[in-house]
Amino acid sequence: MKILEDKSLKTTPIDTLGEFALIDHLTKDIKLENSSTILGIGDDASVIDKGDKYSLLSTDLLIEGVHFNLAYSPLMHLGYKSVAVNVSDICAMNGCAKQITVGLAVSNRFTIEALEELYEGIKLACKHYGVDLVGGDTSSSTSGLMISITVLGEVEKDIITYRSGAKINDLVVCTGDLGAAYLGLQLLNRENEIFKDNPTIQPDLGGNDYILKRQLKPEASVKYIKILKELNIIPTSMIDISDGLSSEALHISKASSVGLTIHEDKIPIDHTVMNLSAEFKINPIVCALNGGEDYELLFTVNQQHYDKLKKDPDFTIIGFVNDQSQGNNFIATDGSSHQLTAQGWDPIKK
């Protein structure tokens, strides 16, 4: 047993690869052995055959200093958000979250009252989404707070929606509105900097409740899944918008071997986002494309559902699916066409 030895390993820094490329690299040679495993890594949740239905399993980490800043994330909201982002992954498979487990590593700077507040948020989200908190693990950590949540959900076999089913000429649709969560983060960062410089200055957050809530206490798209069911619509592909519209569109494109074309003037932006982004001198479309954390759904759907979707204010048709050879495209309001990339469309580079 070789231990306590000097190692002369090759040393390639982790950030040489992006997050997705790193996961691909580490898991590329995994073979699935159990016949019940329908889908492993590569979608919003893994899919496991449980007879009548599929089980859906997904894990998300929230790390202090990476995913949240406790200077402006109230612990109760953080607890709520950590459940919501996991439920969102189950929504993205057209499923329903049922159980979660919570892994919590906390340094000794946290008090019992702080953890109570965090758990209040977790329990509130569980109640809101009808999810049972069934287990977990609590540990000390050498620094900071780490939350690891795993969600188990289920979906009827005939309505499960993967990233991989988009077909040419399908409509590209998103729910709700985009860009607010990113703008909320900018607002919190700005006020936090001012507060750090001069703690007597009260933060100027008034009138931005919607934008702040989108960042601090996002909701999973459970209601849209219900509406789709009521409208008798099964999307051909679906993903939740956690990393920005561009990145998610490219995931569907890659998984489905198609291209997506998205129209700038169709992207739904809330009027409060319009106003605040002007103040920040940020293009709100850039917030939507590259910002992330909106936890809306992006899906593709057969054109037969056009009328039903057009009538429903919950959904916005933002583009269409084209042949893979035509690539992923962003049509700006001035009619110019641009390649859609993971870094998104930047009007400054236009």
Question: Six-digit token pair at 203?
Answer: 């933060």
12 binds a copy of itself (CB under 8 A): yes
243 binds a copy of itself (CB under 8 A): no
Binding test (CB under 8 A) with a copy of itself, winner from 40, 265, 279, 323: 40
294 binds a copy of itself (CB under 8 A): no
Binding test (CB under 8 A) with a copy of itself, winner from 68, 72, 299, 315: 72
For tokens 């700006």, the residue is: 332
Task: Please give the backbone phi and psi of residue 38, each rounded to the nearest 5 degrees, phi first.
Answer: -85, -40
274 binds a copy of itself (CB under 8 A): no
Element holding 278 (H helix, E strand):
helix 271-280
Question: Six-digit token pair at 335?
Answer: 């009619």
Window of 51-59, 169-177, 304-312, 325-333 that interacts with a copy of itself by CB under 8 A? 51-59
**Cβ(134)–Cβ(127) under 8 Å?**
no
256 binds a copy of itself (CB under 8 A): no
**Cβ(194)–Cβ(203) under 8 Å?**
yes
8 binds a copy of itself (CB under 8 A): no
As a residue count, the chain comes to 350
255 binds a copy of itself (CB under 8 A): no
Binding test (CB under 8 A) with a copy of itself, winner from 84, 87, 152, 301: 152
Q: Which residue's CB is nearer to a copy of itself, number 84 or number 260?
A: 84
At closest approach, how far in Å is the CB of 2 from a copy of itself? 7
Binding test (CB under 8 A) with a copy of itself, winner from 68, 146, 226, 230: 146
For tokens 């993903």, the residue is: 239
272 binds a copy of itself (CB under 8 A): no
At closest approach, how far in Å is the CB of 130 from a copy of itself? 6
Window of 22-30, 155-163, 263-271, 276-284 that interacts with a copy of itself by CB under 8 A? 22-30
SS3 342: coil
Q: Which residue's CB is nearer to a copy of itself, number 115 or number 331?
A: 115
Task: Provide the 8-state DSSP code for 244.
Answer: -
Binding test (CB under 8 A) with a copy of itself, winner from 90, 160, 212, 245: 212
Among 286, 235, 262, 287, residue whose Cα is nearest residue 339: 262
Q: Which residues pair with 55 in a beta bridge?
A: 48, 154
SS3 294: coil
Distance CA 261, CA 257 (A): 14
323 binds a copy of itself (CB under 8 A): no
Distance CA 159, CA 53 (A): 10
24 binds a copy of itself (CB under 8 A): no
Q: Which residue's CB is nearer to a copy of itself, number 140 or number 336?
A: 140
Distance CA 15, CA 22 (A): 9
Task: Please give the backbone phi and psi of residue 74, each rounded to the nearest 5 degrees, phi first.
Answer: -60, 140
Distance CA 4, CA 22 (A): 28
Window of 65-73, 162-170, 284-292, 324-332 that interacts with a copy of itself by CB under 8 A? 65-73
Task: Please give the backbone phi and psi of residue 200, each rounded to the nearest 5 degrees, phi first.
Answer: -85, -15
Q: Which residue's CB is nearer to a copy of itself, number 97 or number 173?
A: 97
226 binds a copy of itself (CB under 8 A): no
Window of 126-134, 233-241, 271-279, 326-334 that interacts with a copy of itself by CB under 8 A? 126-134
**Residues that contact a copy of itself, how many (by CB under 8 A):** 102
Among 129, 42, 46, residue whose Cα is nearest residue 85: 129
Judged by CB under 8 A, the chain residues 76 through 115 that form the site for a copy of itself are: 98-99, 101-106, 108, 110-115
CA atoms within 13 A on the CB side of 214: 30
Window of 184-192, 219-227, 231-239, 307-315 that interacts with a copy of itself by CB under 8 A? 184-192
